[in-house]
């Protein structure tokens, strides 16, 4: 017995030195690997296979319900509502999948996988950070081989760190090469397979199952998936391997008009479960760098000298501070110089600062909107109504009740090239930080009267608003992930998030306009492209260190009771 123990110890030490030697050859000087402490009754080796069907929407996958993918769903965690990104080019989507961060951080938008150097990393300094792809971590921390099979040259060039990357030009060749690698490479531990015929088929006729070319491409690709799964299960050492199979897409539909994608993570021990967002999930606007803005509104939200408008938003201030603007269509305010309108915090109150100095109008003035910074949700609103050349009335409201009403005709033209923005705006040059959540930002092209505001301050279905046709912007701010705030008004534009923003699940702490979700006690699972990288690392037992900068949530760890004891 002692001899056996001694032999075991010698082998263990020798193996440790081999592992250290292997790691010493790596390109990156990162911290020593830290592996997750998982209790399991199996010694199977974790491995992962990712299959992307580019251009396939979640909705059309559900409609077509192809045979092999539908069968996978029966033992999977899945979503047909993967979030769209603010930038959804093929390269941007693939960079999110492979780095585990969203576009606003990796900044890869061009299909050459070059960064958009003019964008910065969502901050105001213009700094650029590069993020490693997850295969770098796999090859650094695991003694396995990796593979990528794609007919798209830019992706193959981007993933030069893979051990196997055959040059193929068709989806049929992708399938054949994948099957060959699965049949011959026993040390294979992580593999990405990329099909592109479905995306190409949607170009003519649309990305809908009613387009026969698109539907036929889905069915054919599903057959390829079936061939690959058969080869996977036929591997010589399959009985000693623990494969996670992910089937997903780079983006649903086209790059210029992306739709929600899909995500299926299949494992024999998984119980079928749809991954859903629960409760109200909104952005924490904290500090001075987190903002959401309309990149280009083509003048839609400019109010000029005579345009009536109403702006309303649900807001929850988590503390009291003075001066920073939190909602604006304005230049910065310096002294009495400023153009447009900006809502700012002022101790326990909010105030509206308005001016038209850049357009030859009057200097800025400010008007109180009432006590709002008490840690509770409130409905704040301003209305501007043009009466005649000498009278234009601005009124502030708190929870539907008018607080201040004043004539701002002397301010003149309020239009500005500055963007409609939620988040920090400099007022009086004081750089104090914000800390608040927001919901249901509404922009009407009319001045709503007091009776309408008070009657609809907590309206839960904006489509029922009596002035719904006048709504030119409606942002619920409840996506729960990614970097885009979807505009759900009849017209208008989406907003894009910038900075170190975080999505917060609010549980039952919701504004009056939101229906409390009885399931909010369950953890909300938001699936975005960058979720895939985080879950790949989790499955491979590679600790997701803070230095990696990965955004994604390794949500598969919530289901360990299903597979760790099997």
Containing H/E element for 50? strand 45-53
82-86, 208-212, 247-251, 532-536: range with lowest mean pLDDT: 82-86
User: Mean pLDDT over residues 51-79, rounded?
Assistant: 97
User: Mean pLDDT over residues 210-227, rounded?
Assistant: 98
- Identify the pLDDT of residue 118: 54
According to CATH, the topology of domain 281-505 is Jelly Rolls (2.60.120)
5-14, 135-144, 454-463, 504-513: range with lowest mean pLDDT: 5-14
Q: What are phi and psi of 210, to 5 degrees?
A: -70, -15
Q: Is 171 exposed, middle or buried (0-12, 13-18, 19+ CB in 10 A)?
A: buried
Q: What is the pLDDT of residues 102-130, one digit of tens each?
A: 887 888 988 888 877 655 444 333 445 78
Q: Is 16 exposed, middle or buried (0-12, 13-18, 19+ CB in 10 A)?
A: exposed
369 C-beta neighbours (distance < 10 Å), count: 24
- The token pair at 72 is 């996978």
Distance CA 205, CA 210 (A): 9
As a whole-number percent, the residues of the chain with pLDDT over 70 amount to 90
- Identify the pLDDT of residue 278: 86
Could you tell me if 261 and 57 are in contact, meaning their C-beta atoms sit under 8 angstroms apart? yes
Sign of torsion over alpha carbons 534, 262, 242, 224: negative
Domain ranges of the chain: 46-276+525-563, 281-505
HSE-CB for 28 with a 13 A CA cutoff = 18
Could you tell me if 484 and 86 are in contact, meaning their C-beta atoms sit under 8 angstroms apart? yes
Q: What is the pLDDT of residues 472-518, one digit of tens each?
A: 999 999 998 888 898 999 999 999 898 888 899 898 899 999 988 88
- Identify the pLDDT of residue 516: 85
User: Mean pLDDT over residues 357-365, rounded?
Assistant: 95
Distances from the Cα of 234 to the Cα of 180, 183, 184, 214, 231, angstroms: 12, 8, 11, 31, 5
pLDDT of 29 higher than 90: no
Distance CA 192, CA 31 (A): 26
Which of 240, 284, 217, 241 shows the shortest CA–CA distance to 57? 217
127-131, 167-171, 396-400, 478-482: range with lowest mean pLDDT: 127-131
Average pLDDT value for the chain: 89
User: Mean pLDDT over residues 332-342, rounded?
Assistant: 96
Which residues 6+ apart lie within 8 Å of 360 measured at CB? Answer: 412, 413
User: Mean pLDDT over residues 550-556, rounded?
Assistant: 89
Give the orientation angle of helix 90-99 with respect to helix 134-141, to 10 degrees. Answer: 30
Q: Which residue has the tokens 């099979």?
A: 149
In CATH, the number for domain 46-276+525-563 is 3.40.720.10
Distance CA 358, CA 23 (A): 60
Rg over alpha carbons for the chain, rounded to the nearest Å, is 27
Q: What are phi and psi of 320, to 5 degrees?
A: -100, 140
């Amino acid at each position: 017995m002692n001899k056996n123990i001694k032999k075991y110890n010698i082998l263990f030490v020798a193996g440790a030195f081999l592992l250290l030697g292997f790691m010493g050859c790596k390109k990156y000087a990162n911290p020593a690997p830290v592996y997750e402490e998982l209790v399991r009754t199996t010694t199977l080796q974790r491995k992962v296979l990712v299959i992307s069907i580019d251009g396939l929407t979640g909705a059309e996958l559900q409609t077509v319900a192809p045979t092999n993918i539908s069968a996978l769903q029966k033992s999977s965690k899945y979503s047909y509502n993967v979030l769209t990104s603010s930038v959804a080019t093929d390269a941007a989507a693939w960079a999110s999948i492979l780095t585990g961060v969203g576009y606003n951080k990796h900044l890869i938008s061009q299909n050459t996988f070059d960064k958009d150097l003019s964008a910065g990393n969502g901050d105001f300094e213009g700094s650029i950070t590069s993020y490693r792809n997850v295969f770098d971590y796999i090859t650094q921390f695991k003694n396995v081989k990796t593979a990528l099979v794609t007919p798209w040259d830019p992706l193959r060039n981007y993933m030069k760190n893979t051990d196997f990357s055959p040059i193929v030009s068709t989806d049929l060749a992708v399938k054949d090469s994948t099957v060959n690698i699965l049949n011959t490479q026993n040390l294979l531990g992580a593999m990405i397979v990329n099909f592109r015929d479905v995306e190409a088929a949607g170009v003519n006729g649309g990305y809908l199952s009613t387009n026969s070319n698109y539907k036929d491409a889905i069915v054919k690709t599903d057959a390829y998936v079936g061939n690959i799964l058969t080869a996977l299960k036929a591997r010589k050492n399959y009985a000693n391997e623990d494969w996670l199979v992910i089937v997903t897409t780079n983006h649903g539909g086209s790059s210029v008009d992306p739709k929600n994608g899909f995500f299926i993570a299949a494992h024999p021990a998984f119980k079928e479960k749809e991954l859903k967002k629960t409760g109200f999930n909104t952005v924490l606007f904290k500090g001075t760098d987190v903002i959401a803005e309309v990149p280009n509104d083509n003048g839609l939200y400019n109010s000029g000298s005579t345009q009536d408008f109403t702006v309303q938003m649900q807001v929850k201030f988590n503390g009291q501070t003075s001066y920073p603007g939190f909602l604006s269509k304005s230049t910065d305010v310096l002294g009495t110089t400023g153009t447009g309108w900006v809502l700012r915090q002022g101790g326990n109150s909010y105030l509206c600062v308005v001016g038209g100095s850049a357009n030859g109008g009057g200097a800025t003035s400010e008007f109180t909107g009432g006590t709002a910074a008490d840690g509770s949700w409130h409905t704040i609103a301003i209305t501007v109504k043009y009466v005649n050349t000498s009278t234009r009335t601005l009124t502030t409201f708190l929870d539907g009740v008018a607080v201040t009403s004043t004539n701002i005709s002397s301010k003149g033209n309020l239009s500005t090239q500055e963007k409609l923005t939620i988040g920090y705006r400099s007022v009086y040059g004081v750089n104090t930080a914000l800390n608040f959540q927001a919901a249901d930002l509404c922009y009407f092209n009319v001045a709503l009267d007091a009776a309408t505001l008070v009657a609809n301050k907590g309206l839960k279905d904006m489509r029922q608003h009596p002035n719904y046709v006048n709504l030119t912007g409606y942002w619920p701010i409840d996506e729960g992930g990614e970097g885009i705030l979807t505009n759900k008004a009849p017209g208008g534009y989406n907003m894009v998030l910038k900075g170190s923003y975080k999505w917060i699940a609010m549980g039952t702490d919701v504004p009056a306009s939101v229906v409390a979700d009885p399931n909010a006690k369950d953890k909300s699972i938001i699936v975005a492209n960058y979720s895939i990288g985080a879950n790949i690392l989790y499955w491979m037992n590679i600790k997701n260190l803070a230095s990696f900068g990965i955004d994604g949530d390794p949500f598969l760890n919530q289901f360990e009771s299903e597979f760790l004891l099997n």
